[in-house]
Amino acid sequence: MNDLLPFLPGQLQQVFDGIPFFMPEIYLSALFVVLLVTDLIFGRNGAWICRIIACCGLLVIALKDVEQLKLLLTGSQLFFNNMLLLHEKTVAFKLMIDILSAVLLLYFNWDDQLASHKKGLTDLYSVVIAAVFGMHLMVMAVNLLSIYLSVEMVSIASYLMVAYRAENAISSEAGLKYVLFGAASSAIMLYGISLLYGFGGSLNLFGSNLMPGLMQVNPLAVALALLLFMVGIGFKLSFVPVHFWVPDIYQGAPTPVSAFLSTVTKVAAFGLLVNLLTPFIFFPGFSKVFNFSLFLSVIGIITMIAGNFAATMQRNLKRMLAYSSIGHTGFALMALVNFNADMQGITALTFYLFAYSLANIGAWMLVSYFSNTANAENMEDFKGLGFKFPLASVAFVIILISLTGIPVTAGFYGKFLVFSSVYTVYQDSHNIWFLLLMITGAVTTVVSLFYYIKVPLNLFLRKTERTTSFSSTSNYLLVSIAIISLLVVCLGLFPDFLVK
């Protein structure tokens, strides 16, 4: 112990120096404590207070994220003993996480099945804030230990959200499956981390020891370690072959929770992947040990094919959106395949993720809306509802058009940016994998039209004989759906608002 005393002042000074770069996360911690205290004071009757505090708190934290840009005028900043990294793209990812989470927190109370839960939603709001804190750490983590801890923090919060409706058998089953699959992927990832640490002698991705150490080891051993490590990341991204949990969990979980898992957690996982890939891709000669570009190309192609073709065979709308999200993951991986110094691929990725997340949240809101009003969950349940609920049905068409990638929506411009970034690199390298990626992306986009069009086909072109009465639902939900539809179109017409 006495031998460590001389180093304590320096370590403490590093902690104090890193606090300005960690202010949004400190505010998140305070918000979590405030929600817990509010829940203790008001109990179930304070659900609306907790919701207001959580949403307003996230908006304040989003402003704190923007303020961090002033700290980056001199470039990226490593802090907390090189455990975390802050740069402009990190701020963009955190901003997306906070804004989308605030929207989802409002949405939780508008889903009748979730809102009617006997425990109330106060606990769920606290869990979401804890998950957001973990996702902030994910997008900043550049140490193998901080990566693992942040992923586990988000995973535990996700397990609680999926199984929140414990009295429901389907939800309980989904929660149990998610925990089992998550624990297995976590163990595999941890084993991969231990191998990387053993081979490189360091946990720091941007340190001077890890990459040279890995270069001295048998390439097959390094490839095995990286593949094991990527299992944990792939579980969060739900790319093939660690995607099999998605349909059952998304169908069994409360609909707003499925929206959360398919959007916000994916944004955080892609932010983590950006930091993870940077040292491996830019270190001279490492592509001969493990070619991440080839790995992501193969995974992206398989994921796009598996997700989109499986979605065409689904009758349940939640399962269709689950497989659709897998296909979108494969498409987003295209942007990382051409990871280069000019960051064109990362810019395309951030816009695509925001456009996809916005439209996907709108789609899940519509699932809740039609479930609340017409108890519609399968495709045949939507027959003839287009004229019963015209505003929601038109909004559904607009949102599905964006998810498909048809002009003039944000989804189209997002896909255009991704295709452009890949094509730019293909012109220089003539890499056959880039060409295959573009072909697969174009074909699966056409395929996605076949299953997305089933919804408007049933809404407007097929008649129903059902005579049951329809229920009323929250007008706030319909207003939010309309706003999201409008934003999707506006971002398609004026994308320069986000892409400079």
d(CA 328, CA 456): 20
The structure tokens listed for 479 are 């207003």
| pLDDT score, position 308 | 93
- Checking if the pLDDT of 263 tops 60, the result is yes
The phi, psi pair for 26, rounded to 5°, reads -65, -40
| pLDDT score, position 102 | 94
- Checking if the pLDDT of 236 tops 90, the result is no
Question: Letter for the amino acid at 377?
Answer: E
Residue 79, H or E segment: strand 77-79
3-class DSSP state of 494: coil
| pLDDT score, position 210 | 87
In whole angstroms, how large is the CA radius of gyration of the chain? 23
Q: Once rounded to an integer, what is the mean pLDDT over residues 203-220?
A: 87
Pairing of strands 77-79, 84-86: antiparallel
Q: What is the pLDDT of residues 26-37, one digit of tens each?
A: 999 999 999 999
Count the neighbouring beta carbons within 10 Å of the beta carbon of residue 430. Answer: 9
Alpha helices in 4-46 (DSSP H): 8-18, 23-42
Buried b (16+ CB within 10 A) or exposed e, 227-254: ebbbbbbbbbbbbbebbebbbbbbbbbb
Q: Give the residue carrying structure tokens 């439209």.
A: 359
Question: Letter for the amino acid at 198?
Answer: G
Q: For residue 322, name the pLDDT band (cuts at 50, 70, 90).
A: very high
Question: Letter for the amino acid at 242?
Answer: V
- Checking if the pLDDT of 492 tops 60, the result is yes
Separation of CA 457 from chain center: 29
Q: What is the pLDDT of residues 134-169, one digit of tens each?
A: 999 999 999 999 999 999 999 999 999 988 876 777
Q: For residue 468, name the pLDDT band (cuts at 50, 70, 90).
A: low
DSSP letters for 81-100: TTTEEE-HHHHHHHHHHHHH
Q: For residue 5, name the pLDDT band (cuts at 50, 70, 90).
A: low
- Checking if the pLDDT of 16 tops 80, the result is no
- CB of 411 closer than 8 Å to CB of 356: yes
d(CA 35, CA 54): 7
Question: Letter for the amino acid at 235?
Answer: F
| pLDDT score, position 169 | 75
The structure tokens listed for 442 are 């174009």
Burial class (CB in 10 A: 0-12, 13-18, 19+), 14: middle
| pLDDT score, position 139 | 94
| pLDDT score, position 262 | 92
Please name which of 295, 185, 168, 200 lies closest in space to residue 235, comparing C-alpha atoms: 185
The sign of the CA dihedral 128, 132, 137, 138 is positive
d(CA 261, CA 413): 24
- Four-point Cα dihedral 27, 33, 38, 43, nearest 10: 140
List the beta bridge partners of residue 102.
none
Q: For residue 465, name the pLDDT band (cuts at 50, 70, 90).
A: low
Model confidence, pTM: 0.93
Residue 77, H or E segment: strand 77-79
Q: What is the pLDDT of residues 161-198, one digit of tens each?
A: 988 876 777 778 888 888 888 899 999 999 999 999 99
Q: What is the pLDDT of residues 332-386, one digit of tens each?
A: 998 888 776 556 778 889 999 999 999 999 999 999 999 888 888 888 888 888 8
HSE (side-chain half, CA atoms, 13 Å) at 300: 26
Phi-psi region of 283 (alpha: psi -120 to 50; beta: other; left: phi over 0): beta
The sign of the CA dihedral 311, 313, 317, 319 is negative
Q: For residue 490, name the pLDDT band (cuts at 50, 70, 90).
A: very high
d(CA 138, CA 140): 5
- Checking if the pLDDT of 467 tops 70, the result is no
How large a percentage of the chain has pLDDT more than 90? 46
Residue spans per domain, the chain: 295-500
How large a percentage of the chain has pLDDT more than 70? 94
DSSP letters for 235-300: HHHT-TTS-TTHHHHHHHS-HHHHHHHHHHHHHHHHHHHHHHHHHHHHSTTGGGT--HHHHHHHHH
d(CA 212, CA 406): 46
Residue 78, H or E segment: strand 77-79
| pLDDT score, position 8 | 61
The structure tokens listed for 251 are 């169908």
d(CA 392, CA 488): 15
| pLDDT score, position 430 | 80
- CB of 367 closer than 8 Å to CB of 378: no
Q: What is the pLDDT of residues 113-137, one digit of tens each?
A: 888 777 778 888 999 999 999 999 9
| pLDDT score, position 238 | 87
Separation of CA 498 from chain center: 19
d(CA 446, CA 308): 10
Please name which of 250, 141, 235 lies closest in space to residue 186, comparing C-alpha atoms: 235
Q: What is the pLDDT of residues 75-101, one digit of tens each?
A: 788 888 888 999 888 999 999 999 999
| pLDDT score, position 261 | 92
Q: Once rounded to an integer, what is the mean pLDDT over residues 442-447?
A: 93
Q: For residue 483, name the pLDDT band (cuts at 50, 70, 90).
A: very high
Of the candidate ranges 78-82, 317-321, 390-394, 411-415, the one whose mean pLDDT is the lowest: 78-82
d(CA 275, CA 346): 11
